[in-house]
Amino acid sequence: MNAPLALVQASRPPDAIASCPARLGWMVGSPPPPERQIRFADGSAYRFPQLRWSFAHLPSLVPTAVVPRGCGPAWPLPRAERDDVDDLAFTPLHGGTAMSWAASLAANYTDAIVVLHRGRIVHERYFGVMAPERLHTALSVTKGVLGLLAEVLIADGQLDRAAPVGLLVPELAATGFGDASVGQLLDMSTALDYSEDYADPGSGIWAHAAAGGVLPRPPGWQGPDGFRAYLRTIARAGEHGRVFAYRTVNTDALAWVLEAVTGQPLAPLLSQRLWQPLGAEHDARLSIDSQGVAFAGGGLNTTLRDLARLGELLRLGGVRDGRRIVPAAAVQRLQHSAEPPVRVRRIDAPMAGWRYRSMWWATHNRHRAFMARGVHGQALYIDPAAEMVIARYASHPLPPNALSDPTSLPAWHALAEHLIADPA
């Protein structure tokens, strides 16, 4: 058992009800009393239970760039709510007694969840301070959006999967990214002198966050200023293309590539290629560093339903209302692959057999489900066999999804089986 798991069991953080951010009254008052204030600068924003409020208020805490929805109509999501979801029973991973769907939402510290079946909302819940029109951080689900965007450009012939990164972004030529291919960034099979261990204060992920201003900088910070200055410090360690290792910096390097080949900053690029044609109902927002560079590895904030719309677009193979929004090849790529897998390092047990492809997790289960995941429980789960899409935003006390998976993955699969058996 790794350190965070031991920690959470030892310290027993307050449960979903006790930590409910609406109940705790964060930032309520004019001004809020000092003990109910949450600020970015003093680090309180990312402490539990404060993060349950912060995850739904990031643009109130840090600078963000808009990803405009454009001016067209939103893609309608008809409602067809079912009364048989809350009581659906499933068995959590690692054994234990049966649990109801409704109980799992509290167990996971769910902030909001929506289930689409055949494009209709069959189940939708909001908790705490989350609401239909509120933006919630997607954390590493952002990577899935970037992966899709890259696959769109590849399918359109604007980007070459085999091209070396250093050729497309000369500033990265002399770094560990220089001779990696775009495809290796996408599948996170680069070999870099960089670690992403959340439990190790000296790991690269914290330096990356400090450079980009995602977290307050340690006192006396002398490190790189900005995501891209940090990327330029990363050396190679080994041979690219051999081992899968989940590293956020790959996505930030990918964003640099996308901006270089299109000549557009990420926010308007994402708007133009995905958010507008998708028919998003609300503008999304991307966290940015002091130089305006987006946090591509985890900075997207969206409403729950807009995230679900993206999932529905993928479920439909890239077509919305009979109009192709995303090339079919791009969607297929996220879902599965005939290529032999690279060796997998550090995959949690419930994900055995899964593959990380273009910044998506392909489960290769019987339903060919695939998903984008972010720490603390962010998820976009697409089950093609069940014609089901689940978008979930959450604020689990600790980052590892291994803490949420046991009460999430089997619940979602059980609901998928139920929808197949009883499509209603």
Nearer to its own copies by Cβ, of 112 and 331: the residue is 112
Q: Using the rule CB under 8 A, which residue among 1, 10, 41, 338 binds its own copies?
A: 41
Q: Using the rule CB under 8 A, which residue among 20, 50, 69, 393 binds its own copies?
A: 69
Q: Using the rule CB under 8 A, which residue among 8, 25, 37, 420 binds its own copies?
A: 37
- Locate 245 and state its tokens: 């290792």
Q: How many CB atoms lie within 10 A of CB 373?
A: 24
Question: Which of 14, 302, 8 lies closest to 144, judged by CA?
Answer: 302
CA 402 – CA 351 distance, rounded (Å): 9
Q: Is 2 in the site for its own copies (CB under 8 A)?
A: no
Locate the DSSP E strands across 131-269. 136-137, 243-244
Q: Which of residues 363-392 bind its own copies (CB under 8 A)?
A: none
Nearer to its own copies by Cβ, of 68 and 350: the residue is 68
Nearer to its own copies by Cβ, of 11 and 291: the residue is 291
Q: Is 210 in the site for its own copies (CB under 8 A)?
A: no
298, 140 Cβ separation under 8 angstroms? yes
* Interacting residues of 306 by C-beta distance below 8 A, sequence separation 6+: 69, 275, 278, 280, 281, 282, 284
CA 350 – CA 90 distance, rounded (Å): 15
* Interacting residues of 68 by C-beta distance below 8 A, sequence separation 6+: 268, 271, 275, 276, 283
Q: Is 169 in the site for its own copies (CB under 8 A)?
A: yes
Per-residue contact flags (x/-) with its own copies for residues 111 to 140, judged by CB under 8 A = --------------------xxxxx-----
Part of the chain binding its own copies (CB under 8 A), chosen from 37-45, 87-95, 240-248, 381-389: 37-45
Per-residue contact flags (x/-) with its own copies for residues 254 to 293, judged by CB under 8 A = --x--xx----x-----x---------xxx-x--x-xxxx
Quick check: helix, strand or coil at residue 384?
coil
Binding region for its own copies (CB under 8 A): 27-28, 30-32, 37-41, 57, 59-66, 68-71, 73, 131-135, 169, 226, 228-229, 256, 259-260, 265, 271, 281-283, 285, 288, 290-293
